[in-house]
Amino acid sequence: MKVDVQAKDLIDYIEKEFGGEAAKTAKEVHERGGKVLGLVSWNIPEEVLYAAGVLPFRLFGKAQLIEKAHTYLPSWSCSFSRRCLEEALSGEYDWLDGLIASKLEDTCIALFYLLKHILKPKFSYLLQIPVLKSELSKEYFVKEVLNLKNRMEEFMGTAISDDDLRRAIKVYNENRRWLKMLYKARKREDFPLTGADVLKVVILSMTMPKEEHSKVVRKILEEISELRARRRQESNADKKVKVHVSGTEVTDLEILQIIEDCGAKIVSDDLNTGTTYFWNEVDEGRDPYDALAEHYLFKVPNLLMSKQLSRAVDERIEYIRSLVEEFEADGVVFLVDRGCEVMGFAYPHLRDGLRKLNIPSVRLDLDYPLPREHYVTRMRAFVEMVRERSA
Amino acid sequence: MYGIGIDVGSAYTKAVLARIIEDGQVEVVVHDVIPTKPDMRKCVREIFERTLKMGGIAKEDVRAIVGTGYGGKIVQLEVGGSIASEITCHARGAKYLFPNCKGVIDVGGQDAKAIKLDDEGRVIGFEMNDKCAAGTGRFLEVMSKVLDVGIEEFGEIYLKTERRASITNTCTVFAQTEVISLISQGVPKEEIIAGLIEAFASRVAGLAKIVGITRDVVASGGVAKSVGFVKALERRLGCEIWVPKEPIIVGALGAALLALK
Amino acid sequence: MREVPRELKVRSWKPLEEVRKLFREMFQRHLSRLMELKGRGKPVGWFWACSPTELAYVFDVVNVFPEQYSAYCASKGASDKLIDVAIEYHYGEFTCDYLKCSIGSILNSEIAPLGGHCGMKPDFVLDSRMACYSGHHAMSEVFANLYSNLKRFIIDAPFWTEDKIGKIEFPAKKPEKISKEDYDFVVTQLWDFMHFLEGLTGEKLDEERMKRVFEVAEKTSRNLIEIADLMISKPTPMSQMDYRGFPLIGFYITAADYALEFTQEVLEIIKKRVKRGEGVAEEEKLRLLSQGIIPWYSELYKYYEERGVVFPLNLYVEDTFCLIESSKPLESLVRRSMSLWNCDADTWIESVLRRAKRADLDGAILFENTGCRLFSYGLRRFKETLWEGLGIPSVIVEAPQCDPRGMPLERAITKINAFIESLL
């Protein structure tokens, strides 16, 4: 790869070398005889799949116009479930070898069973992940991770040793570190990638072979260093307002582009398709089942799980606050899908919690196709307001 | 030294010509309002030329132009200058007219906004209503057609009518269905209209409450001219609301002030 | 050959007035219990459907039900304002109606029935993830955010897949199997909850009392299941306008003496009616299945029963029942979480189809509850199953359970009438 390539070309390079549309890469794996399992939920212990030699492929769906999904789903369903179903009904997921979901959230459970009904996969599994963060839950979950491993062994016809699992954890942790490094690189003024670019990189991690993806991120970081060394300082008449993006499953690059077109620079997020996926590492010093249960139950920032007698929202607000502080964000942009239950319940408390901390926020209601003017009006007003505050 | 602010809304395009006078104060010279036409560029050009003419000045006398509103970009394309958000502009305009202003409630054709200001007049929070909700000029237009009563009469009817029908404020389509149902049940039109103003005001007041506006509030936008609406809003918020003589030009005024900054 | 009338004529409608009267009396006794316990300084708990509500009677705590409160608000025509309050505060428009109503009653208690706060401010909420995530777990979190001193106690049950429990007998909720692991997981949490209640009330668990409470619960639950079986008779003996009150008992108060007495009396009344061959409609033109949470503000059932269209099988109401076995109280509480919402469809569908066959049905009305993903996402599939499995056609009607604006009666009737015409 040439050293004087532009920042934009970095992303185009990823697209070209690694299959562009995520499905192409995963499909290639399948065509070469590999097994690919579609993940309907987030927060699944993928390391177990990796150890079995299976590629975990997070389902998102990219359709903007929904036609077929309405035969099954009501109009108020979230765009994530609608798009996944649209893909399934259009035959885009026929090649998957199976499906995995978890019981964390109703939409995913219901979607999982719908997809099962349509795709009739040879393999499917619903992971019993607890919602209560406790020692009892962890004991239960350790056994559940073991269950998952046993099912994978049956499915693949191979044995999975503890060492296989440890190796998988190492590979995943490495990927987590690279992604975290990429995010930390955003702290610099001259970071050349846009918010949309970075989102693309994270989503690719959820859909392509982990080791390959780590190489991608590593290359990007190397290129960024080179670009910095040769870059002239750009002067900006108006300094960009730094924002942290909050939400659940955001896969639309366009909304992030709109945000950054309005004078904002995205510096961090707490999306399921962002930092929560990789921010903390699995403990490599313990028994791998224990480590995985500990990680997915306690260490992944999660609005759906709480400790006994306490509130998940408090933990999330603290998580947002810590990122806002670390990345010196001036404010938070909430991306709320109209049909998203999780945000539907949590948003007012997140907003109020941030207000108590004096962190300004703005809410963008996601609706597809995206009504651009709607977002531009709000973002511009927010950017001006934040600029005035710091003036 | 002149500055022009042009606020292109979905229903009306407004312009304000202002200038700086001796002691650094700003003075409003003229203002103008014309209906927004589909050819927005022509509309902007028209109001710009009218404003220059009314002010007796030439284009070269204008130091800066700021466009805002739904068609703010069109202003920039047609006559140059920069763009500012309606939120900032309404805040500036309201603060100029009422120096003690701590909050602004603006009800336009397409949306409603509640804006909170600090003591210096800077925006510290804002809330805009959802796409379909009541609380916009459009809501009242739709109901006006259903009831076959002019919007201008709504406010008066509200003030005169004791009983108010209970009507939803979260969805214009729902509300329309409810109104039709009420009509078929024989509920008097006046009660329905009073109920609509109530629903409208509660929606708008709801925005204000979320943002934390409790006093020293200015109302702007065409709907603010309606005494009935303002009264309903005052009842909901529990405080007095200040209404400028020309509430519809507040945004353009703020834009002109920004132009002169 | 059926005659093909162009429209259904109104005929004599014979609901059981006695049942209605008894229900009101029972509900008054329930409210009296709440007031009396509150007066004695007992802690107030908020409970959800499918949760171990019998324990409220073991420990004598005040048991309040936000979902039932919301249904009450809807039936009194007070729910829409409360829902709007929640939406204005930016809770999701398409979240569960029970959430929006409850929140409205908290944020704006002056306009809410019974003083708002779902009837009584809570000291604790039993956050049971034993039916749905959103309805119960997420809502409990919201309440914990709105009431700063609220103790939020979580119990988490597995999602019961066919792998885990095999097939399940509906409505008794008897599975083919439960693994020791799953059983221990839930039962340990039930014990944790009981210790929590001990701490809150300052009283140790009284095992004798627990035995008595569960004996009452068993009898009540058996009565309910027998009533459900009698509803399938031809003609169906009770109006859905009365039957729709039974989830209150099935979900929440099986352990109450007043519930046992009510069900005993009603069972006798219904048995007699069935013996006489008497039904709620003078002449049954059509027998339909009803699925989905009943739109509480609506008189739809009455409208159709008056016209000879009856509902012998109401899956939603039946799903609130569960056979409580006093010899195995904790296992019964575990089985309670095996409702339609917390099981995969394959576990219960066979049992449901068998019941539907016995009920001799002509069609089905499926209420698509706005905001309820677990119900609504699976509804079209259920429609296909009814057709393929039993040749029963269905109509899906959009019906938020508490917001009357989502299902104006005329609109629903137009759609259902068109469906009915195709059946006649």
pLDDT beyond 60 at A164: yes
Q: Answer with the residue of higher pLDDT: A391 or B184.
A: B184
Contact A144, A22 (CB under 8 A): no
Question: Hey, are the CB atoms on B171 and C405 less than 8 Å from each other?
Answer: yes
Set of chain C residues whose Cβ sits within 8 Å of the Cβ of B236: none
Look at residue A117 and tell me if it is in a domain: yes
| Beta-carbon count within 10 A of A90 CB | 14
pLDDT tens-digit series, residues A53-104:
999 999 987 766 778 888 889 888 988 999 999 999 999 999 999 999 999 9
pLDDT score, position A9: 65
* Of B174, B178, B206, Cβ closest to residue C88: B206
pLDDT beyond 50 at A194: yes
Instruction: For residue C41, give every residue at least 6 positions away whose Cβ sits within 8 Å of its Cβ, in sequence order, or none.
Output: none
pLDDT beyond 70 at B69: yes
Set of chain A residues whose Cβ sits within 8 Å of the Cβ of C161: 126
Mean of pLDDT values over C350-379: 92
B257 token code pair: 């002030």
* Of C139, C185, C373, Cβ closest to residue A107: C373
Closest by Cα among C160, C213, C168, C221 to C185: C160
Set of chain B residues whose Cβ sits within 8 Å of the Cβ of A381: 85-88, 123, 126
Set of chain C residues whose Cβ sits within 8 Å of the Cβ of B174: 405
Question: Hey, are the CB atoms on A385 and B86 less than 8 Å from each other?
Answer: no
pLDDT beyond 90 at A109: yes
Contact B59, B52 (CB under 8 A): yes
Q: Does any CB of chain A come closer than 8 Å to the CB of residue B126?
A: yes
Contact A242, A265 (CB under 8 A): yes
Give CA–CA dist A54/A168, Å, rounded: 11
pLDDT score, position C423: 87
Q: CA of A304, closest CA in chain C: separation in Å?
A: 7
pLDDT score, position A7: 55
Amino acid sitting at position B209: K
Mean of pLDDT values over C304-318: 95
Best A345, A350, A361 residue to mutate vs chain C (most C CBs within 10 Å): A345
Mean of pLDDT values over C249-256: 96
CA dihedral C265, C268, C271, C276 (to 10 degrees): -110
Question: Hey, are the CB atoms on B170 and C81 less than 8 Å from each other?
Answer: no
Closest by Cα among B200, B147, B150 to B172: B200
Question: Hey, are the CB atoms on B166 and C81 less than 8 Å from each other?
Answer: yes
What is the radius of gyration, based on Cα positions, of chain B? Answer: 19
Question: Hey, are the CB atoms on C93 and B168 less than 8 Å from each other?
Answer: no
Q: Where would I find the H helices in C147-253?
A: 162-165, 180-201, 207-231, 240-243, 246-247
Best C81, C88, C93, C398 residue to mutate vs chain B (most B CBs within 10 Å): C88
Kindly give the pairing relationship between strand C286-291 and strand C309-314. Answer: parallel
Best C405, C407, C411, C414 residue to mutate vs chain B (most B CBs within 10 Å): C405
pLDDT score, position A68: 87
pLDDT score, position B45: 95
Average pLDDT over all residues of chain C? 93
Set of chain C residues whose Cβ sits within 8 Å of the Cβ of A313: 141, 145
The chain A residue lying nearest B123, using CA atoms, is A385
Best C85, C97, C145, C368 residue to mutate vs chain A (most A CBs within 10 Å): C145
pLDDT score, position A22: 53
Question: Hey, are the CB atoms on B88 and A388 less than 8 Å from each other?
Answer: yes
Identify whether C171 is preceded by a cis peptide bond (ω within 30 of 0): yes
Closest by Cα among C406, C411, C409, C410 to C100: C406
Domain count along chain A: 1
Q: Which structural domain, as residue segments, surrounds residue A60? A: 7-164
Percent over 70 (pLDDT), chain A: 90
pLDDT beyond 80 at A6: no
pLDDT tens-digit series, residues A216-245:
899 889 888 876 655 544 545 468 899 999
Give CA–CA dist A40/A42, Å, rounded: 7
How sure is the predictor about B178, in pLDDT bands with cuts at 50, 70 and 90? confident
Question: Hey, are the CB atoms on C94 and A114 less than 8 Å from each other?
Answer: no
How sure is the predictor about B252, in pLDDT bands with cuts at 50, 70 and 90? very high
Look at residue A348 and tell me if it is in a domain: no
pLDDT beyond 50 at A20: no
Q: Where would I find the H helices in C136-206?
A: 139-146, 162-165, 180-201
Helix, strand, coil shares of chain A, percent, nearest 5, are: 55, 15, 35
pLDDT score, position A233: 47
Percent over 70 (pLDDT), chain C: 98
Mean of pLDDT values over C133-156: 92
The chain A residue lying nearest C160, using CA atoms, is A128
pLDDT score, position A235: 46
Q: Does any CB of chain B come closer than 8 Å to the CB of residue A234?
A: no
Q: C-alpha distances in angstroms, C76 versus A6, C70, C369, C402?
A: 66, 10, 19, 10
Chain A, 343-362: which have a CB under 8 Å from a chain B CB?
A: 360
Question: Hey, are the CB atoms on C89 and B210 less than 8 Å from each other?
Answer: yes
Question: Hey, are the CB atoms on C159 and A114 less than 8 Å from each other?
Answer: no
Minimum mean pLDDT among A288-292, B42-46, C346-350: which range?
C346-350
Give CA–CA dist A139/C359, Å, rounded: 45
CA A205 to mean position of chain CA atoms:
9
Helix (H), strand (E) at residue A251: none
pLDDT tens-digit series, residues B210-250:
888 989 999 999 889 888 999 999 998 889 999 999 999 99
> Cα angle at C7 between C4 and C12, to 5 degrees?
105
Set of chain C residues whose Cβ sits within 8 Å of the Cβ of B171: 405
For tokens 């491993």, name the residue.
A149
pLDDT score, position A390: 79
Is residue C12 packed enough to be buried (19+ CB in 10 Å), middle (13-18) or exposed (0-12)? exposed
* Of B83, B123, B130, Cβ closest to residue A385: B123
pLDDT score, position C411: 78
**What's the DSSP call for residue C160?**
B
| Beta-carbon count within 10 A of A257 CB | 17
Q: CA of B13, closest CA in chain A: separation in Å?
A: 17
Closest by Cα among A326, A309, A7, A292 to A152: A292
Kindly give the pairing relationship between strand A361-366 and strand A331-337. Answer: parallel
Q: CA of A262, closest CA in chain B: separation in Å?
A: 11
Kindly give the pairing relationship between strand C62-64 and strand B123-128. Answer: unpaired
Is residue A250 packed enough to be buried (19+ CB in 10 Å), middle (13-18) or exposed (0-12)? buried
Give CA–CA dist A94/A88, Å, rounded: 7
Look at residue A40 and tell me if it is in a domain: yes
Domain locations along chain C: 17-423
Instruction: For residue B240, give every residue at least 6 positions away whose Cβ sits within 8 Å of its Cβ, in sequence order, or none.
Output: B215, B217, B234
Look at residue A237 and tell me if it is in a domain: no
pLDDT beyond 60 at C321: yes
For tokens 């575990």, name the residue.
C334
Q: How many residues does chain C have?
A: 424
Give CA–CA dist A79/A337, Å, rounded: 7
Identify whether C235 is preceded by a cis peptide bond (ω within 30 of 0): yes
Q: CA of A338, closest CA in chain C: separation in Å?
A: 7
Average pLDDT over all residues of chain B? 90
Q: Which chains touch A (3 or more CB pairs under 8 A)?
A: B, C
pLDDT tens-digit series, residues A246-277:
999 898 888 999 999 999 999 999 999 999 99
Question: Hey, are the CB atoms on C374 and A81 less than 8 Å from each other?
Answer: no
pLDDT beyond 80 at C16: yes
Q: CA of C367, closest CA in chain B: separation in Å?
A: 19
Q: C-alpha distances in angstroms, A224 versus A3, A8, A11, A20?
A: 10, 11, 12, 21
Best A42, A73, A140 residue to mutate vs chain C (most C CBs within 10 Å): A140
pLDDT score, position A368: 74
CATH code assigned at A80: 3.40.50.11890
The chain B residue lying nearest A386, using CA atoms, is B124
Is residue B121 packed enough to be buried (19+ CB in 10 Å), middle (13-18) or exposed (0-12)? middle
Concatenated DSSP letters of C66-97? HHHHHHHHHHTT-HHHHHHHHHHTT--TTS-H
Look at residue A390 and tell me if it is in a domain: no
Q: What is the value of pTM for the model shown?
A: 0.91
What is the radius of gyration, based on Cα positions, of chain A? Answer: 21
Set of chain A residues whose Cβ sits within 8 Å of the Cβ of B130: 365
> Strand order in B62-68's β-sheet?
B26-35, B12-20, B2-8, B62-68, B82-83
Q: CA of B60, closest CA in chain C: separation in Å?
A: 48
* Of C145, C374, C398, Cβ closest to residue A349: C145
The chain C residue lying nearest B179, using CA atoms, is C405
Residue B106, φ and ψ in degrees, nearest 5: -115, 125
Minimum mean pLDDT among B27-41, B132-146, C104-118, C222-236: which range?
B132-146
Q: C-alpha distances in angstroms, C10 versus B229, C305, C309?
A: 46, 9, 10
pLDDT score, position A17: 55
Is residue A34 packed enough to be buried (19+ CB in 10 Å), middle (13-18) or exposed (0-12)? middle
pLDDT score, position B222: 86
Give CA–CA dist B57/B79, Å, rounded: 15
Beta bridge partners of A365: A336
Set of chain A residues whose Cβ sits within 8 Å of the Cβ of B128: 377-378
Helix (H), strand (E) at residue A119: helix A106-119
Minimum mean pLDDT among B28-42, C2-16, C319-333: which range?
C2-16
Concatenated DSSP letters of chain B? -EEEEEEE-SSEEEEEEEEE-TTS-EEEEEEEEEEPPSSHHHHHHHHHHHHHHHHT--GGGEEEEEEESTTHHHHHHHH--EE--HHHHHHHHHHHH-TT--EEEEE-SS-EEEEEE-TTS-EEEEEE--TT-S-SHHHHHHHHHHHT--HHHHHHHHHH-S------SS-HHHHHHHHHHHHHTT--HHHHHHHHHHHHHHHHHHHHHHHT--SSEEEESGGGG-HHHHHHHHHHHTS-EE--SSGGGHHHHHHHHHHT-
Contact B200, B171 (CB under 8 A): no
Residue A126 half-sphere exposure, CB side, CA atoms within 13 Å?
25
Set of chain A residues whose Cβ sits within 8 Å of the Cβ of C129: 131-132
Q: Strand, helix or coil at C364?
A: strand
pLDDT beyond 90 at A10: no
pLDDT tens-digit series, residues B151-161:
888 888 999 99
> Cα angle at C124 between C118 and C129, to 5 degrees?
90
* Of A132, A312, A340, Cβ closest to residue C141: A312
pLDDT score, position C3: 45
* Of C90, C133, C155, Cβ closest to residue A105: C133
* Of B70, B84, B131, Cβ closest to residue A384: B84
Which region holds residue A309: left if phi is over 0, alpha if psi is between -120 and 50, else beta?
Answer: left
Contact C159, A126 (CB under 8 A): yes
Of chain C, the end-to-end C-alpha distance in Å amounts to 10
Question: Hey, are the CB atoms on A81 and C377 less than 8 Å from each other?
Answer: yes
Average pLDDT over all residues of chain A? 89
Best C128, C129, C156 residue to mutate vs chain A (most A CBs within 10 Å): C156
